[in-house]
Amino acid sequence: MLRALLAAGLLQPWLVRAIERALIALAVGGGSEPDLASLDALLSEQQRQLEGGGVVQIEALRDWKRQRFEEQAYQRFLERGSKLDQFWMSLLQTNDPHLAQEWFFQLREGEAGFGDLAPASLGAERASAGRLGPLRLTELQPPLDRLLQRCLPGEVQPPLALPSGRLVVLRLDERLPVRWDDSLRDAFVDELYRAWLGRALEQLRQQELRPDAFCSILLP
């Protein structure tokens, strides 16, 4: 019965809360592996130490996640590198190759600006005078992402064909290199934590589940 409920996802919210309560207890009082079967007795003692209630518990869980995942999060940040940079651009879209070429020449020669031509564009940039951003490379489809990586700010690029069949004419206006700060650190830490939590739930699915069973998970 428990295995069926778990397979159907009905037990998952309770298990996630139980795991996080165990992690909070470990963060406050120390320990090794969360023992979900004997958790209530441990928490009743630890709860008296958690002045401030929910706020302190949230902070305790956050600190535990940082302790376990911050180093790995920084390595992931280094691996992704320029893909996390932010880009501001001016862009026009059309299905007509002749119009795209005409736009390119007008923009390059200074006969018109992106804001002048944007009403004839096919995308959301019509409402923003051709301006888009900030965007990261992971939010852009190939080959647009590759073009932005190699072009210089201020240069109008020749028409680029997209897999959808549209052609774009763009100018990179600004590129802001990503910085390692608290917000980005916590985003990476949470990403790694969610992945670990998914693996922990899968470990529980593989165990013998009974109402009085002893269940354990491996810490990261």
- Domains, the chain, with CATH or none: 2-80+182-206 (no CATH), 86-173 (3.10.50.40)
- Which residues are registered as beta bridge partners of 136? 86
Furthest-apart CA atoms within the chain: distance in Å? 78
- What pLDDT is recorded for position 6? 55
- What pLDDT is recorded for position 174? 96
pTM, to two decimals: 0.60
Backbone angles phi, psi at 163, to 5 degrees: -55, -25
Q: What share of the chain is helix, strand, coil (3-state, %, to 5)?
A: 55, 15, 30
- What pLDDT is recorded for position 10? 55
158 and 103 Cβ atoms separated by less than 8 Å: no
- Give dist(CA 6, CA 12) in Å, integer: 6
| Sheet hosting strand 86-94, strand order edge to edge | 131-136, 86-94, 167-176, 160-161
125 and 63 Cβ atoms separated by less than 8 Å: no
- What pLDDT is recorded for position 219? 81
Alpha carbon distances (Å) from 32 to 23, 35, 70, 125: 10, 9, 19, 53
Mean pLDDT in runs of 10 for the chain (220 residues)?
A: 54 75 71 48 47 67 91 90 89 98 97 97 95 92 92 96 96 93 91 91 72 69
Among residues 162, 173, 24, which one has the least CA distance to residue 91? Answer: 173
- Give dist(CA 91, CA 140) in Å, integer: 13
Alpha helices, H only, the chain: 2-7, 12-29, 39-47, 54-80, 97-108, 114-117, 144-150, 182-206
| Residue 76 CB partners (closer than 8 Å, separation 6+) | 188, 191, 192
- What pLDDT is recorded for position 78? 86
